[in-house]
Amino acid sequence: MSAWLDPLRAALDEAAAPVTFFFRDDDAGWADAELVALLDVFAAREVPLDAAAIPLAVRDGLVAELVARCEAGTGLAVHQHGYAHLDHELGAGRRCEFGPHRARADQLADLAHGQAILREQFGPLLQPIFTPPWNRCTAATGDCLVELGVAALSRDRSAGRLDLRGLAELPICVDWLKTVKPTGRRRTRAELGEVLAERAWEGAPVGVMLHHAVMDAADRGGVDELLALLANHPGARCRSMTALLALSPEETPA
């Protein structure tokens, strides 16, 4: 059933040291039933999952569900995902909520309000991490995050680094739903297995991005197969994003 993971299994077999993996699921607040189904997969495998929550989208019922799971020690953690998940570029560039066409003051206001909403909902369970919608933001966004006491920014590694003092970066490097250009088709499971193996060979923490709202049962089954491998292989270890932040400076993801 999991032959597509053979390249990753081989990479882990030969790794000089255990390879660290972390999982970030975006858009908590949308498609609650699909989110709960994904949370069940991670809880069953006892693998940490970081849920990025949209402040203006998360409703009371989901808050109660997430809080209960966090407090039960299932490995779930919650952090801020934008504000309203709206595109403010309006055709002037790639979709972005905190992009170059927004003034710093406007960005700061949205970030602060979103943070306040989530703190009211999750209290001390809210993690000091920020994921921008579409994995895009500006240096001004980073400055605002530092001002607000946010400890880390998580984007796709293709976005590069802001390298701001006081703001760690936790890039993801595998997009479960990434499409192949120019056709726009989804990667096959075998292709995904090859990408995971390539990232494992690099030795840095492997961040995997999920989007529960557009994942079906087959996707969740594939994730379960991946988690089964990682949870039981001596060459792999799964960590929360907050745990990665607690590493010593020389161990912090580059």
User: What CA–CA distances, in Å, run from 248 to 56, 157, 200?
Assistant: 34, 21, 21
- What pLDDT score was predicted for residue 219? 97
Of the candidates 80, 142, 140, the residue with the CA atom closest to the CA atom of residue 115:
80
User: Two tokens at 34?
Assistant: 């699909």
pLDDT band at residue 248 under the 50/70/90 scheme: very low
Cβ neighbours of 188 (radius 10 Å): 11
Amino acid in position 16: A
What's the confidence (pLDDT) of residue 181?
Answer: 85
Q: What is residue 250's predicted lDDT score, i.e. its pLDDT?
A: 41
Mean pLDDT of the chain: 95
pLDDT at 1: 59
pLDDT at 37 over 90: yes
pLDDT over threshold 70, residue 229: yes
Tokens of 186: 């989804």
Q: Note the pLDDT of residue 93.
A: 74
Start-end of H helices in the chain:
6-14, 32-45, 60-71, 104-122, 139-147, 189-202, 217-232, 241-245
> What pTM, to 2 d.p., does this model score?
0.95
Domains of the chain and any CATH numbers: 3-251 (3.20.20.370)
Determine the average pLDDT of the residues in 234-239: 97
184-203: pLDDT as tens digits = 899 999 999 999 999 999 99
Among 151-165, 172-186, 232-246, name the one with the lowest average pLDDT. 172-186
Is residue 224's pLDDT more than 70?
yes
